[in-house]
A and B are shown apart, each in its own frame.
Chain A
Amino acid sequence: MSLQDKQPMVGLVDEQAGPLSISEYERHGGYTAALQALSQKTPIEVIELVKEAGLRGRGGAGFPTGLKWSFAQGEPATPGYKYMVCNGDEMEPGTFKDRYLIEFNPHLLIEGMILGSFAIQAEKAYVFLRGEYFDAYSALDEAIKEAKAKNYLGKGIFGTDVNLDLRIHSSGGRYICGEETALLNALEGKRAQPRSKPPFPPASGAWGRPTIVNNVETFCNVPGILRNGAQWYKDLGLTEDAGTKLYGISGRVNKPGLWELPMGTPIREIVDEHAGGMQNGFKLRGILPGGASTDFLVEEHFDLPMDYATIQNAGSRMGTGTMILMDDSICPVDLSRNLQHFFAQESCGFCTPCREGLPWVEQLLAKIENGEGEEGDLELLDQNALYIGAPGNTFCLHATGAIEPLQSALKYFREDFEYHIKNKTCPYKKKQVNH
């Protein structure tokens, strides 16, 4: 088995050499999946294969990709009527996996999008790219030019009668654009506020037409599935979930970074083997497993495999799979304050609990962190967390995600909060000076 078969997404990447060129990509079998699918398969067959492979969305929610595509498969099949959109607005704190994929393997994304667009019969596709991703933009832009020159994009691609116009839309820059319907509004040139669902984008998305929005990493899984088959893909995973996953770690480890590993690799293995373990003198206390908007995992969870179901059962979400590690030198109150500052700032301003509730939460946390906390503040925090965080209380899931790290911090690190209030000081401030 070649490296590419074990690591279908990043196996070919040579970080020193920069983005993989089209010739390099093709030399290792790139675009053969697309050529084969477009000339020999029907769109339904592509969807069935992806369904069978068990690919789940890598943006965080883990929705089965093939199933999602099938929602947009039906009528109307008017050419150009549907849209395929790639969500490349990677703004989740601690997450940098999509950036890596686009910067180093842009043709993989393009091939994945060609296959996806073919599957839902879309003739127009957009990559909605985070505005700050300049290098990714130029890598992808160059790759699209290369693909167009080879007639892999445009009219009658791969010598078939399939058309695909692929464009990059560089975001104006808001975290909420990662929410797929806010992304669509932004794409249409409107305020980046989420839309109410239903209608869901597969029924009515961009410009009121059926639209599929998938994450960059999701698309990057597709060419491998088409090339090597569903069974190969399922076999890659260590647990029930199929394929490989880009896992990342930031925090006080010896080698922070990003690795493509089999789905279901245990947390401790990622931390100790791939990230080289904790730095000397620091003890791992908690993990935000899938970016900032997921609940903390603590010591008792560190041997769990990182897959969708296991992490969910542990009370959190695998999310983007890029972990933020909290060691024992970090104040959980200050960390929470920092996160709530981010989420309050990134609220779109549409619904009340998120717009007005999160800034209040941030103020309360700052008050506690600054040694000004009073009796009752924790109860206020609890109440706000309860009313802001329950899904359905807010218009979209931004605030729900924002509250996840807070509610779990209040649960696992409550004594830290209480200490701050009781002693009117932050015990970590002194500690940090020593390191």
Chain B
Amino acid sequence: MAKLFIDGVAHEVNEGENLLHSVLSQQLDLPYFCWHPSLGSIGACRQCAVISYANEEDTRGRLMMACMTSVTDGMRISLKAPLAENFRTTVIEWLMENHPHDCPVCEEGGECHLQDMTVMTGHSFRRYQGPKRTWQNQDLGPFIGHEMNRCITCYRCVRFYDDYAGGTDLAALGSRDRMFFGRFEDGTLESEFAGNLVEVCPTGVFTDKPFAQSYTRKWDLQTAPSVCTHCSVGCNVFPAERYGEFRRITNRYHVEINGYFLCDRGRFGTHFVNHVKRIKHAGIKESDNIFEFGDPDRAIEQAASLVDDHTIGIGSPRASFENNFALRELVGKENFCIGVNDQELEILNAIIKVLQSDEIHTPTLQEVEQADAIFIVGEDISNTAARTALSVRQATRLVSLELAKNAAIPTWQDAGVRDHAQHERNPLFIATPAATRLDDIAKDTFSGSVNDILDVVYTVSDHITDETTDEQQFAHQVAQALCNAKRPLVITGSGLASVDLIHAATHLCAKLNDTGVKISLLVVPPEVNSIGVALLGGDVSLSSALTRITAGSSAIVMENDLYQRESKATLDKALESSKLVVLDHLEHSTVEHATVVFPATTIVEQSGTMVNYESRAQRSFQVFEAKSEIQPAWKWLNEIATKLAKPLGWNTYEELLDRCAESTYAELLEVAPSADYRIRGALRVPRQTHRYSGRTAMHADVNIHEPKTKVDPDTPLSYSMEGLNPGTQNGATIPYTWSPGWNSNQSVFKFQQEVGGKLVSGDPGLRLITPNGMKLPRESKNALSNDRNDNTLEVIPIHQVFGSGELSNYSWPIQARSPTPCVLFNQADAEKLRLAVGSGAKVAGLTESLEVKVDTRIPAGLIGVPANLFREMGSTLGFDQIDHDPDFVAKSKTSENLIAKG
């Protein structure tokens, strides 16, 4: 610790960090632009000037940039000295020379860091008389709007996009006062993290394009703390609502998980909530796919009539823990199926074993960023758990921080660290069937089938103890790197649908553990609540559930499109004349088979708990009330049970949660405060900002009467602007970040213990699994049979961050961004089949043709198919089962490069 005197007042700060960081950590205001807590300092904007004094006698001092100055013990600075204040005002005056006066029509208005800083410095009168510079903007694709005239040249965009996220198609172009930040030509930004530009840009250059289509000021949005529903990482998000519609997602800071950044599936994937295929009413099937809507009571009656003691309940890994619990309560554990196919069930059980073992640590993403050697086994994390890939990218930079320290360069001095370390990276090894978007930072890659990868992993295991092997070998290098690292990490997952991979990775980690290496293992499950629903458990597998349904059992399917789980042929047969009650958000293939259908709320319209890959249970609070008859599945289920005269015993979410915690995990109650939680003993946390545009405008889409404030019985949040959001409350209940003078997302530091640290009251979420003494199995693999031959291709599922997520595929921006479903070949195989890149291929078993792509890494003998079509085909395809489709038309080229260039 160091003592820092700021305007004569002593503060305890961390020695060696930069002054700006220290000042902000003391909750003091100091304007800045180019600095970012995750991106460090570069000293470009010169906004954070302070006066530094040599000693107590020094009254003149020297002007310096806080972000570029290391804190030393006893240092004396002033934020308020006239020279510092005047200089900072002048910097804003310079920045505003060319900034347009378009705040009233700018998407950033009201949450603009530039607006805030301009007000903070007091610059209000324009003295510059020259013309303003103007630019031609670019079309950057479906996600990001571009308005270069607003640019203040802080360089944050390129520093995030290129330096931090590894993007290559956004650049600082031009020079002097003609700096342009964009692509070399119009086109979709390729990085799956491009959406963060919206929040990284301190003004309105890069904006949320889908949000702009139905725009609302930040102060008129209703928000609540929520969890991203699009993969198993569990990033914290703020979904926002206006007029009963979902509007946008912004990042909700969580130091251990997403930090300041989200992936674009998470940011743009939730527009499915407004999809035209939303089920809005309870319906009863009359005949041939014709449902009669409008009488929910009769639907409940009808559903109740189908339920008996043998009714199967099929839950879902994308439904909340509580909803799954509710269904399990209704049908009984003996009739409950968690809603994943048998292969996936096996994988989830293997992951739970890893989580239960105290031999291997499952890291948070914050810990992933500290891993000094990483081996990725089979999983294409850029596509299945994208935020993880961003953390892996940071981890490979650890060595550069070490080099910087040795050269006396502060680690926060970002440009200096990068210039000094150049291309030095920590070892990252990737063994996957095809190229990935982390290959550019990998020390080495291995390409092969699942069996080939298994071979490599077991060989790595062997090399840990046997050092006599070939040093050039991939496996040897991996073994060396993992053994020599302080914090080695193995990452695998369910992406290749192989439990063997998880066993192999576990085996490798157990072996490393035996030799004294403290190893971490991150296994990526498929969906947002896969681990939660697996922990809840059910006695019925999906295959036996389908068998029983075929045999005549009725079934309740909740928030699950079974067509995402099993092949169309299997399901068409099983559900042909089934008695099916379906509760879900959207009209999907399973709904077509329903006898009764109920409209269920999505994650943003209900409260619930999701359990992420590390078994961290996180509460997602309801943002707004769904329109029409849509209500949470647990309510429908209780109404059905009540009709059967067997009420489940809850009327509110709170009561459901109590019951759920009582019979499953008591910790669920500690994940977030209960509905009676009040701030200062009396106040709820408001979902609306204190600047919400008046109650008569709340439902301006309907009328201008002031609605009665609805009391929320389920959560400590209010559907109102009344209450307090001081940041000191329980971290799970922060509905938005805002602080006096800080209207933008930059205000998050006011909610942290220190800049980039924990939230004031700690980080939300609790791990449900406490590791126990259970030993991991160490058995080696059985001999693997490789049934590949010259006439067949082994089928490999290929995941797409845009295109493989079930719900996000209903989100229109994601649809616009998704590539044409494609089939990946090795060059030689494509030539053998006489298929040109970009042409269409008819694949046996599929109704639609796929676009032909050649991957630089996929070995001959493998064929990559879209993950969501994988279940439709066998494990191998004959060359004669693939044909050229002369009529094929690929989607427009906007989505190029989603397959890694390799």
Contact = CB atoms under 8 A, between A and B. Distances in A.
Interface in A202-243: 203-204, 207-208
Given A198-B416, A380-B127, A355 B177 contact: yes
Contacts of B178: 349
A180 to B, nearest CB: 13
Given A347-B176, A363-B130, A387 B87 contact: yes
A345 B420 CA distance: 29
B174 interface: yes
Nearest to A207: B422
B420 A355 contact: no
B177 A347 contact: yes
B42 interface: yes
Contacts of A351: 43-46
Nearest to B178: A349
A344 B46 contact: no
Given A208-B421, A380-B127, A393-B87, A348 B172 contact: no
A390 B87 CA distance: 11
For chain A, the bracket of interface size reads: 35 or more
B128 interface: yes
Contacts of A347: 175-177
Contacts of B49: 393
B695 interface: no
Contacts of B179: 349, 355
A350 interface: yes
Nearest to A356: B94
Contacts of B90: 353, 383-384, 387
A176 to B, nearest CB: 8
A350 B44 contact: yes
Contacts of B46: 351-353, 393-395
Closest 8 CB pairs of A and B: A356-B94, A347-B176, A208-B422, A349-B179, A204-B420, A349-B175, A208-B420, A363-B130
Contacts of B68: 196
A392 interface: yes
B413 A360 contact: no
Contact of A352 (B44, B64, B128): B44
A93 interface: no
Interface in B141-197: 152-153, 155, 172, 174-179
Contact of A196 (B43, B47, B155): B43
B42 A355 contact: no
Contact of A356 (B97, B174, B420): B97
B130 A203 contact: no
B63 A393 contact: yes
A356 B409 contact: no
Contacts of A390: 63
Interface in A170-207: 174, 185, 191-192, 195-196, 198-199, 203-204, 207
B415 interface: yes
A330 to B, nearest CB: 25
Interface string A341-368: 0001111111111011101100100010
Contact of B416 (A199, A348, A350, A353): A199
Contacts of B86: 387
Contacts of A344: 176-177
A199 B415 CA distance: 10
A392 B49 CA distance: 10
A390 B46 CA distance: 13
Interface in B5-55: 42-47, 49
A204 B419 contact: yes
B47 A199 contact: no
A346 B176 CA distance: 6
Interface in B388-421: 403, 407-409, 413, 415-416, 419-421
Given A174-B175, A352-B95, A356-B95, A395 B422 contact: no
B129 interface: yes
A8 to B, nearest CB: 37
B792 interface: no
Interface string B690-706: 00000000000000000
A199 B409 contact: yes
B420 A349 contact: no
A195 B62 contact: no
B91 A352 contact: yes
A357 B92 CA distance: 11
A395 B43 contact: yes
A199 B408 contact: yes
Contacts of B128: 360, 363
Contacts of A199: 407-409, 416, 419-420
Interface in B534-583: none
B747 interface: no
A196 B94 contact: no
Contact of A198 (B94, B98, B129, B408): B408
Contacts of B176: 344-349, 355, 359
Interface string B456-477: 0000000000000000000000
B177 A196 contact: no
Contacts of B65: 392
B413 A353 contact: no
A207 B416 CA distance: 12
Given A204-B419, A349-B177, 11 more contacts: A199-B419, A204-B409, A351-B43, A351-B44, A351-B46, A355-B153, A355-B177, A355-B179, A359-B130, A360-B94, A387-B87
Contact of B44 (A207, A380, A383, A395): A395
A348 B419 CA distance: 18
A313 B130 CA distance: 38
A201 to B, nearest CB: 10
B175 A348 contact: yes
Contacts of A356: 94-95, 97-98, 177
Contacts of B403: 208
Nearest to B92: A352
Interface string B97-137: 11000000000000000000000000000011110000000
A196 B87 contact: no
Contacts of A174: 175
27 contacts: A174-B175, A191-B175, A195-B416, A195-B419, A196-B43, A196-B415, A198-B408, A345-B176, A346-B176, A348-B176, A349-B153, A349-B174, A349-B179, A352-B44, A352-B47, A352-B91, A352-B94, A353-B91, A355-B177, A356-B95, A356-B177, A359-B97, A363-B129, A384-B90, A390-B63, A392-B64, A395-B43
Contacts of A208: 403, 419-422, 424
A280 to B, nearest CB: 40
Contacts of A394: 46
Contacts of B44: 350-352, 395
Contacts of A383: 90
B172 A191 contact: yes
B828 to A, nearest CB: 35
Contacts of B97: 356, 359-360
